[in-house]
Structure 1
Amino acid sequence: MAHKRIVVKIGTNLLTEKLCSLRADFISRIAKQIADLRKKGVEVLIVTSGAIGAGCQELNLKKSREIEVRQALAAVGQSSVMRAYHDAFSGYGIKVAQILLTYEDFSNRKRYLHLRKAVDKLISLDVMPVINENDTISVDEIGATFGDNDKLSALVASKVNADLLVMLSDIDGLYDKNPKTNKDAKLIRIVDSITKDIERAAGKSGSAFSIGGMLTKVKAARIALDSGCDMVICNGRKKDILSRAISGKEGTLFIAREKLSNRIRWIKFSRAKGKVIIDKGAEKALREGKSLLSVGIKKVEGDFDRKDIIEINDAAKGISDYSSKELEKIKGKKGKVAVKSGNIVLI
């Protein structure tokens, strides 16, 4: 199929050398390939990593797991990353725009709708969005939220209605075994269903600066596929990788089947503000498409407000009609609908 809007995710391993310096030659090659795609009428967004690694180079510091240090490194390194993209794309007459996001931008429906409008406007102005996690103000351990931006790229693809996510990695795709330790490992070319076997095959791999591994990429694929967006994992170091991956000649292709509505996707993939533990009868009712009643709630966890998204056991997510304090008062009692059936998504 012809792709109209593509998200290209570029990981830390591709962007930076072992000594943290940005790979200008790699960025230049990608810029040329993206420029060629744009000439064909394809809209392209980049989701990038590399800010912390670039910050290490700028400040001549070694890697660190301390969140305050990593926040500072990201603040310094992000400008270097954007400068590298600006320099590479300006040679093709392409302007770039920086967008920094946190999980809240996807959990808050109004904010994510504004994000989509902003992206659409930038593209209409012929500006290419370059998106990264806002590590400097991240309230969680950096990387734990998005996994070297694997999950971020899938969320972005979902929210901007992309039809293909190209995840550039440092290996050729998903193998049936770890190719670094098994010489007989075989590349899986097409995945039409993410099964437990596929997740087991993903395994784990990382580096000094990249927190994501193949497993995070497969989990990200679930998000992309639920939004009707195909996804390719491929080796970003190969020549003409974007055109070859898009045409099905490289990598592992995850094929989307059924597209969930925007609202269901928002509920399913937003971060829950709290959780309720419910009894077996209440969970059975949820699975039958019924609302969650207060009488079925056994325990309330977290601090949340009305209309926040909450987890319901490990079975579902939903939009709560009550705050956590209000649910504490009515749990186990009859007569109240805590979460309406139309606001519940099984997970």
Structure 2
Amino acid sequence: MEARHSGRGYRPPAAAPGAIVRWPDTFGTRFTLFVDTEEEFDWGAAFSRDAGGTSHMSAMPDAHARFAAHGVPLTWLIDYPIATCPRAVEILRGLIGDGRSAIGTQLHPWVNPPFDEDLSAANSFAANLPGPLEAQKLATLTQAIAVAFGVRPPIYRAGRYGIGPNSFATLARLGYRADTSMRSGYDYSRDGGPDFSAIPNHAFRTGPAETIVELPLTTVFTGTLRRGGAMLHRRLGSVPRGRGAAARLGLLSRVALTPEDMPLDEALEAVRIAVGEGVRLLNFSFHSPSIQPGHTPYVRDAADLAAFWRWWDAVFALLGRLGVAPASLAEILDAACGAGPTSATAAGAGGL
């Protein structure tokens, strides 16, 4: 699958019909949960190489236990400050001992060596870096994770969803089997990032010889005008307060499957729509610092944290009623790759 653009302004096209993953009937309809496992930083400040706090990782065992009580495995997408923090590694090694949770990769270029680029908003999208530098950063991070956990990570997410046309060749060279950097229905081009307006919620094959499975983050448009989708949402963005008015009137809302800034009632409706429209794998996510109040704008205090957990309890209850079961990373890779061009075994994917 070829991109229309390269570098900044990357806009991957919709997947060709033959590239869409055909899930086995035995897979059913499933959901997965990826955690952007990263350092603590001020979301309103400029990018800094000095932001590297990982104190919130002490809250991960309790959080993991709450998800495990629902039978939900987690895939921890870890970046360089986490991968090189002995305490964080120790905690995560214990959590993936459940046999179903897994470790993947997330690249935050501003805190990931080598540091050969200027700090800027544009360069926070890894794909905007010169190709060799992006590749060096990703290789450095992959090796750090392999050393910390004893096995190479099989799945990648670009921080800030900053995937690009050069990224997939690097991922293939480093042995990655899947990517989850594309956020269906979102456009980051105004900030110098990619535009995923054409990306569906369905998993598809991409990269060199279609050897990488793309697992887009699920985004659902709700409301009476939801068929307008990303195009209508973009147009409303050019109207002062247009998106907010459309949402309040029940005309159009863009709902990502995350408790971070997504109201519960809208998320429940989005789940119903996604399942009703035949999305076979629903992709949920959140940022690890949200587990502890004060690190992200989504969980500022104890009340926000309580709401965070209520969100998950209600979503898991609905998924159970709809017959949508959780899937581990190993199960996803086995189902997606077993009969396709990426038919290598999933050894290590579930035991990371």
**Do the structures match in fold with TM over 0.5?**
no
Give the TM-score of the pair, scaled to structure 1.
0.32
Give the TM-score of the pair, scaled to structure 2.
0.32
Q: Per residue, is there more strand in 1 or in 2?
A: 1
